[in-house]
Structures are given as structure tokens and as C-alpha cells.
Chains A and B, each alone.
Chain A
Amino acid sequence: MALMPRRIKHRKVQRGRIKGNATRGNKVVFGEYGLQSLQAGWIKAQTIEAGRIAAQQYIRGDGGKLYVRLFPHRSITSTPLETRMGKGKGEPEAWVATVKPGTILYELGGVSEQQARVCFARLAHKLPVKVRLVKQRPKLGS
């Protein structure tokens, strides 16, 4: 079962706009390597899960650990096909995570850089945004 919130305050939310860069969740903190988004967008819960499985299958047996840094907090709605206009907002259809440029999507620890590159390349094929590999920033200053 794909990820979704256990309890929410409002079932339907307005679309809004994704503006600016990520100011939170933009550092690699758990592993040594991270997959950073370079675009803004919505990533569906099924996509997050597909990416997790693709990465997990690659690092299985190598002792590496995968961290999923995003969660689908937001619902998206759609009206059914062949429905006349009006009659209010559609029903929630999927859950998505909002991603901004700079957001770290996944992290890997306990693997070599080469392994991390291959693993993230397999994972990146599943994602609807451009991504790149980043390393953990050295703890120099703040």
C-alpha cells in the first residue's frame, strides 16, 4: 500500500503554486549521498514507492541503507471521465508530495559513491522531476 496520511484536517485542498527553492529538507543528513530535486513538482505516493523498491532492490545485500525523505501529505482531486461540467470539486484521487528545487528526495548510507550513482540512476528513471546526486556537506562552519 502506497504512503498516505493517517489523519487529515481537510480532504481537498486548492492547487496553489510552487514558488521558490527548498529551504527545509535540503541537506543530506542521514546518509552520505542524497538525490536532490532540481525542479518543482508533485510526486505521487505510488512513484515514491516505486523509487524506493528500485533502489532497495539494487542495494540489497550490500549493507547499504536507504532513507526516504519525502512524504505525500497533499491530496489531489479529479473529476471522473465523461462528467458534465459543474457539480463541485472532484473526489481525492491520489496523494502527492510537494517538491521544490533543492529538496532531498532519498538518501543512501553505507555504500560506495559508484554504487550510490548506479542506484540513484535506476531510481531517477521513475521520477517526474530532474534530479542529481549530492554528497553530505562537510561540517565546516554551519
Chain B
Amino acid sequence: MAELFQAEARELTGSANTRRLRRAGMVPAILYGQGKDVVHLSIPESQVNSAVRNNQPYIQLEGASTESAQIQELQWDALGSTVLHVDLTRMDANAMIEVDLTISLTGDAGASINQVIRTTTAVVPAMNIPNGLVADISSLNDGDSISLGDIELPEKVSLLSDPSTVVVTCGAVAAPETPAEEATVADDAGSNETEESGGDE
């Protein structure tokens, strides 16, 4: 889910006033875009830190403004530990975006498994980005595989990759060298030994 920001309108601008705001635990912010008026806001520092920690650029504003927005830019202090200011751009609440989703496995397979791909690109609602995709491998037996099309997708999520792309194989091991190749290798080794022994003599 998108992060929720409890925004308050900010009428006093300027460095002295924003410094007072920061001391009170708020972060000054500005909201613009889509041809509408620019709005000065202040947001609780904890909510900004939460969005930063969760790497969540898409947010839902409440309070002084009830709009969907995207974090456009963050200003940090000199040591990079505190957010000083947030730039927000308005965006459509129903916007769809492309993200890379991680694929995790659940359950126990009947044999050893090999996860071929670990992420896939998907189109998801910007305001409801899923944490990832989950592939159930409990029904897998030796020789079975799961492709992208077999994974259950969250609501309104669609994949960009080919659904036939294999995600997990079960019981598949690397093919051993063919007897013909082994024979060739053995022959080469034998001829080398012969040459070396000849050289010594």
C-alpha cells in the first residue's frame, strides 16, 4: 500500500520558519504538478522517514490536501541523515507503473529445486505495489517445473515477461558429459602422455 502522509498547510515560508517546523518534528514539503496551484505543506518527520525506509515513492496525502503524489526529490542534510525538504508531484491515483517484483518460493518440493529467475517486471497500480510474487512449490515432483503463467498474481497486476518463462525446476541436475566427449578427452590425455614420454627419452 502507498504510504499515508498527514499533511498540514504551511503558510509561513522562509528559512527561519522552516527551521522552527523541523524543530517541531515536521518536514517542509511542496506539492505541484498537473497544472494546478502549488501548495506548501508540512509532513510529520516519522512518516517521511517511514517512506524513505520502505523505499516507497508513491504516497497518499490526507489533511490539508487529499491527493495522490510521488516523491520527486528529497533534500538531505550535510551528513545525509535527516530529510530537510520533500518535493511532491501530483499523480493520478489510478496510475499504473512498471516495477521489478521478487519471486519467492513457499512449501517443500518432492526433490531438489533450482530457481531459474528471481525477479520479473510487472505492471502494477502505483498506489498498491505488492511486496512480491509467491510461487507454491509444494506440489512439484521430480521433473516438474513452474512457469510465470502458473504463479497467482495479485489484483490488477499483469506481467510483462513471457508467461512460459520457467521460474523453478524440480529435480533437474546438470547433464553429465556425454560418453563421446569423455572418450575424446581420454584420447587427448593419452596422446599427451605418449608425447611427453617420447620427449623424455
Contacts and interface: CB of A to CB of B under 8 A. Distances in A.
Nearest to A36: B79
A102 B52 contact: no
A140 B71 contact: yes
Contact of B73 (A22, A102, A138, A141): A141
Interface of A: 21-22, 26-27, 36, 38, 101-102, 134, 137-142
B199 to A, nearest CB: 41
Main secondary structure of the interface of B (DSSP, over half): mixed
A22 B79 CA distance: 8
A125 B194 CA distance: 60
A22 B55 CA distance: 25
Contact of A141 (B53, B79, B87): B87
A101 B76 CA distance: 14
Interface in B39-71: 51-53, 55-57, 71
A142 B78 contact: no
Contacts of B86: 141
B100 to A, nearest CB: 12
Main SS class of interface, A: loop
B51 A38 contact: no
Nearest to B73: A141
A50 to B, nearest CB: 25
A26 B79 CA distance: 8
B38 to A, nearest CB: 17
B55 A138 contact: yes
Cβ-closest 8 pairs across A and B: A21-B78, A138-B55, A141-B73, A141-B74, A141-B71, A142-B73, A102-B79, A140-B57
B80 A141 contact: no
B72 interface: yes
Contacts of B52: 138, 140
A139 B99 CA distance: 13
A141 B78 contact: no
Nearest to A104: B80
Contacts of A102: 78-80
Contacts of A38: 79
Nearest to A34: B80
A101 B77 CA distance: 11
A140 B53 CA distance: 10
